[in-house]
């Protein structure tokens, strides 16, 4: 099972943001994506997740064509995505932020509330149990009832990952998970990602912290000015002259 793109292209007038990007990656893997600022990495995520529509090219997720599906429809296939800047509901508790991310919430339907209250209560208990399990997994129990807006940067990144987990994803796009996070929480977050991957959830991770990313992922994709210029094992990719020139200014 793979996530693949073929000829993915996005232009704004004469400016090309993504230029014929074709990738194929295992849905069970830990993949990284790097590139200089403005390379098109976050735009690539936005196109994959349906927030921006490409001008050309195809996207397939586990054999399902995604290019004509909405972001919600893509999420229902098992596709999850976080953002570079966390988008927590600041005035809700951490616990309630996780509840918002849960799939299949029958309490949202008035018909079910009146016609099947027992089923609604059972579903709410199941969601509450999953919230508790997610809080424990991410080690956020201590702040479970605190307002999300008061969390540290690292805790917000953990919360955003937890909210995605509540949607029962098969594959997650992580955009700059280590940005603004202290070294202790970076390792905590990395460990949670490894454990989730061991459970069968795949990841594609954009990250500027090369040291932390290279310890985590199996392979790297490199974008520069919208084009894919490298792919392979992290040490091999970073040794390529074209990658060093584009990403690190040719530094030795």
Q: Are residues 166 and 53 in the same domain?
A: yes
- Which CATH number does the domain housing residue 185 bear? 3.40.50.300
Q: Are residues 11 and 115 in the same domain?
A: no
Phi, psi of 20 (to 5 degrees): 60, 50
Q: Are residues 80 and 160 in the same domain?
A: yes
Q: How confident is the model at residue 119 (pLDDT cuts 50, 70, 90)?
A: low
Domain span at residue 219? 2-88+153-248
Q: Are residues 12 and 82 in the same domain?
A: yes
| The predicted structure's pLDDT at residue 89 | 86
What average pLDDT score do residues 226-238 get?
Answer: 92
| The predicted structure's pLDDT at residue 224 | 93
Q: Are residues 175 and 225 in the same domain?
A: yes
Q: What is the mean pLDDT of the chain?
A: 87
Which tokens sit at 130? 């999953």
**What is the distance in angstroms between the CA of the first residue and the CA of the last residue of the chain?**
38
Q: Are residues 239 and 209 in the same domain?
A: yes
How does pLDDT run across 71-115, given as a tens digit for each residue?
Answer: 989 988 999 988 877 788 899 999 999 988 886 655 454 455 455
What average pLDDT score do residues 130-138 get?
Answer: 93
What average pLDDT score do residues 184-213 get?
Answer: 92
Q: Are residues 196 and 108 in the same domain?
A: no
Q: Are residues 135 and 239 in the same domain?
A: no
Q: Are residues 236 and 224 in the same domain?
A: yes
- Per DSSP, what are the bridge partners of residue 34? 222
| The predicted structure's pLDDT at residue 248 | 59
Query: What is the domain count for the chain?
Result: 2
Q: Are residues 70 and 20 in the same domain?
A: yes
pTM of the complete model: 0.87
| The predicted structure's pLDDT at residue 251 | 41
């Amino acid at each position: 099972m793979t996530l693949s793109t073929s000829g993915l292209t996005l232009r704004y007038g004469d400016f090309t943001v993504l230029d014929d990007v074709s990738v194929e990656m295992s849905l069970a893997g830990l993949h990284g994506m790097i590139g200089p600022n403005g390379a098109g990495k976050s735009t690539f995520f936005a196109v994959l997740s349906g927030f921006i529509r490409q001008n050309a090219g195809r996207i397939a997720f586990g054999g399902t064509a995604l290019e004509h599906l909405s972001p919600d429809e893509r999420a229902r296939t098992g596709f999850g995505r976080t953002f570079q800047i966390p988008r927590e509901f600041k005035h809700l508790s951490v616990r309630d932020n996780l509840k918002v991310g849960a799939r299949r919430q029958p309490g949202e339907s008035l018909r079910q509330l009146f016609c099947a209250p027992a089923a609604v209560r059972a579903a709410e208990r199941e969601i509450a149990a999953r919230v508790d399990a997610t809080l424990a997994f991410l080690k956020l129990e201590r702040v479970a009832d605190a307002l999300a807006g008061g969390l540290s940067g690292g805790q917000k990144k953990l919360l955003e990952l937890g909210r995605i987990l509540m949607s029962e994803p098969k594959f997650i796009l992580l955009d700059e998970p280590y940005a603004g996070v202290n070294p202790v929480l970076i390792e905590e977050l990395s460990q949670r990602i490894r454990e989730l991957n061991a459970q069968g959830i795949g990841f594609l991770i954009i990250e500027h912290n090369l040291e932390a990313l290279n310890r985590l992922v199996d392979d790297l994709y490199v974008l520069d000015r919208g084009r894919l210029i490298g792919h392979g094992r992290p040490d091999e990719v970073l040794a390529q002259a074209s990658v060093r020139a584009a990403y690190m200014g040719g530094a030795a």
